Chains A and B, each alone.
Chain A
Amino acid sequence: MSDAVLQTNALSAGYSRRVIVDGLTFSVSAGKICTLIGPNGAGKSTVLKTIAAQLPVLSGTVALCGDDLSTLHEKDVARRISVLLTQKITAERMTCGDVAETGRYPYTGTLGILSAEDKRIVHEAMELVGAAHLYDTDFRQISDGQRQCVMLARAIAQQPKIMLLDEPTSFLDIGHKLQILSLLRQLAKERQIAVIQSLHELDLAQKFSDTVICIRSGKAERIGTPEEIFSGDYIASLYEIENGTYDPRFGAAEPAAAQGDPEVFVIGGGGAGIPVYRRLHRMGIPFAAGVLHENDVEYPAAKALASVVIPEKAFEPVSEDAVSRAMSVMQRCREVICCTEYFGEMNKGNLRLKEYASVHFPSPRCCENEGADL
């Protein structure tokens, strides 16, 4: 990995001799985005602070563009790394332009007066993040999302080789989250910056990272591509999820299903059942769902929320066996809700279920009357 802009080797990070993360070896190349994920308190921020030379390296090494961090002067570090931190700044009587201009600090002289070139760079950075119109606005009078954009402009104006961002999207609305992460990707690619960030939004981490590092119990438990990390049950075990499930394919977190024997049977398919599942789950009513093909859009939601799911293999017609199992579950339910009107060739079995329900249950509901009490 000769093109690595950032390389750590057996790095131990922590506070005054108390090691928090140990034996961390990874590298980030120019133009790539590396994301640290892991539970709260795992030490993601500690790692970032250590790389930014704000905490001493306890053991191991950090190399920036091939030079060991400990041999670099503060100013050289400042010209290679810029940061965006979680702490809010209290900028007294500063305009957004003033805040962004502080990014030029490592390049200005003794009194810190900006040259015309410095100003041009700051303006360009403000334009890039779409905050040029805020240049003369007081920094305290803008929204959290705008503030994060200005802080990003500040970090860009510093013209770093590496950008470190600690939870850059926390507290932002989804629009700003996407804006910030898209900007980072653009920056990484166009300016060949290595981006290292920590994120709590797993779905976004999956979509915007080239490498994902999972920090847990003082170690980098796994390092890999998003495809390697976001597969199977790993995320659930990384975050020790007990009260629900996380589906890494869709980035969907679901609460745990209501416990107990199913009271309601839902005939779903094609996504029409999802609102019903959510409603029943909110009301705490255990329910059964079926028969659902394993490739049906609502299959993951049913799997997470229903106490019983009667599945069918993808692309196969609903089998006789599945129908009879569904009927036996239905018999123990007090009510049936049918969410679908159309029954195609592959799920003719569900049509039989509906007919069975209309015989055995006084009034099988359809989910069209969504306002109805369940």
Chain B
Amino acid sequence: MEKRRILRALICFLGLLLLAGLLFCLSLMSGSSRIAPGTVFDILTGQQTDAAAFRIITDIRLPRTLSALILGGGLSVSGFLLQSFFRNPIAGPFVLGISSGAKLTVALLMIAALQRGFVMHSGMMIAAAFVGAVLCMLTVLLFSGKVKNMAQLVIAGVMIGYICNALTDLAVTFADDANIVNLHNWSKGSFSGADWQDIRAMAVLVLISLAGAFLLSKPIGAYQLGESYAENMGVNIRVFRLLLILLSSALSACVTAFAGPVSFVGIAVPHLMKGLFGTAKPLILIPAAFLGGGVFCMGCDLIARTLFAPQELSVSTVTAVFGAPVVIFMMLHRAKERSIS
């Protein structure tokens, strides 16, 4: 059994890596101008062949694909952390309103920047998103202390999300109209528009958070049995909860700052990975969720920009189409399991 489990995990990781590689190459090749695989390879290895193709790859497609990979992975890990924290299978940064909170603060910062005429850099965006995410997380926590019911918690989160979205819309309505289009596009969720400075910032932040989450996998595993048992195993609950809040907020803040709110990745991907790997052990699931989230988002982004090219869909549209059925399936499946046991 133990050997079979390890084998299964290895095969799944290998499969995910292959899929990630495949989607990565496909993303670089496809778009308004098709670039042959050979050319892509030459550009990536530094043998410059075609100046126009080089610009397309390095300035547009590579950053976009990388940000889908990194942010998708971060979003999915954030979802896994929140699900473990709230012991609620449909918790996620989007459902609990954390993404919307981050979006609100980033939008306010953007509008302020437009009006005052200062240039924003990625650090400010992340900081603003982080503040919004933590504020929303704390509000949800305040509710979670009061409500014992999982459904009520999700409803509270969804309502917080609506309030934040309404406030964002309000702010946008009264902002200078010249740049609203830009803001509007971002607020729907998109992996485009990142430059190399952004990529560096998001990579550092997401990878650090990921490492932090990975190091927390032991207490997360203990916490899956419930708070009391975790406490009896020697977990310092207060420190653990604080770390988990900070990590999941940092991850969802980073994603929101660069890509806007992207729905369903946080719920659907961890669940898919649990099914694929046949376990909920954080030691396996945290890297799996990262890789799976990256694959999922690269795939969805590819669809978003190629399906009705040159017209581009918002990535949330695509993630919802693929993610929502997973959530529905999961709830039906859980109801069935509960009736068995």
Contacts and interface: CB of A to CB of B under 8 A. Distances in A.
A102 B234 contact: no
A64 interface: no
A184 interface: no
Contacts of A92: 89, 224, 274, 280
A187 interface: no
Interface stretch (B49-57, B192-200, B225-233): B225-233
A81 interface: yes
Given A102-B222, A102-B225, A141-B341, A90 B87 contact: yes
B235 interface: yes
A113 B284 CA distance: 11
Interface string B295-328: 0000000000000000000000000000000000
A87 B226 contact: yes
Contacts of B229: 83, 85, 89, 102
Contacts of A54: 228, 231-232
Contacts of A73: 234
A159 to B, nearest CB: 13
A19 interface: no
B221 interface: yes
Contact of A106 (B217, B224, B234, B280): B234
B217 to A, nearest CB: 6
B231 A111 contact: no
Contact of A111 (B218, B225, B274, B279): B218
A111 B228 contact: no
B178 interface: no
Given A91-B225, A92-B280, A108-B218, A140 B341 contact: yes
Given A112-B218, A135-B1, A81 B280 contact: no
A102 B226 CA distance: 12
Contacts of B280: 92-94
A206 to B, nearest CB: 28
B249 to A, nearest CB: 23
A174 B122 CA distance: 65
A77 B234 contact: yes
A136 interface: yes
A110 B222 contact: no
Interface in B223-263: 224-226, 228-229, 231-236
B188 interface: no
B340 interface: yes
Contacts of B218: 105, 108, 110-112
B11 interface: no
Given A94-B224, A135-B1, A140-B341, A111 B217 contact: yes
B215 interface: yes
Contact of B279 (A87, A93, A102): A93
Contact of A140 (B221, B233, B235, B337): B337
A54 B237 CA distance: 10
Which of A81, A89, A113: most chain B Cβ within 10 A? A89
Contacts of A82: 232
Contacts of A98: 279, 281
B278 interface: yes
Nearest to A94: B280
Nearest to B282: A112
Nearest to A113: B283
A52 B227 CA distance: 13
Contact of A112 (B228, B232, B236, B283): B283
Interface in B1-25: 1
A102 B233 contact: yes
A141 B340 contact: yes
B232 A81 contact: yes
B225 A78 contact: no
A102 B283 CA distance: 13
B336 to A, nearest CB: 11
Contacts of A95: 1
Interface string A67-78: 000000111011
Nearest to A77: B234
B233 A111 contact: no
A141 B337 CA distance: 8
B236 A74 contact: yes
A6 interface: no
Interface string B190-226: 0000000000000000000000000101100110111
B210 to A, nearest CB: 14
Contacts of B278: 93
B215 A110 contact: yes
Interface in A254-280: none
Nearest to A105: B233
B290 to A, nearest CB: 16
Which of B89, B233, B234, B274: most chain A Cβ within 10 A? B233
A89 B226 contact: yes
B274 A93 contact: yes
Contact of A78 (B215, B233, B337): B233
A83 B232 contact: yes
A297 interface: no
A339 interface: no
Interface in B93-135: none
Contacts of A89: 225-226, 229
B283 A99 contact: no
A322 interface: no
Interface in A204-220: none
Given A93-B279, A105-B218, 19 more contacts: A73-B234, A74-B231, A74-B236, A77-B234, A82-B232, A83-B228, A89-B225, A89-B226, A91-B225, A92-B274, A93-B278, A102-B225, A102-B229, A105-B235, A110-B218, A111-B217, A111-B283, A112-B283, A141-B340
14 contacts: A52-B232, A54-B231, A74-B235, A77-B234, A83-B232, A89-B225, A90-B87, A93-B278, A105-B218, A105-B235, A140-B337, A140-B340, A140-B341, A141-B341
A-B complex: 10 closest residue pairs judged by Cβ atoms: A78-B234, A112-B218, A105-B233, A75-B234, A93-B280, A74-B234, A140-B341, A83-B232, A92-B280, A106-B234
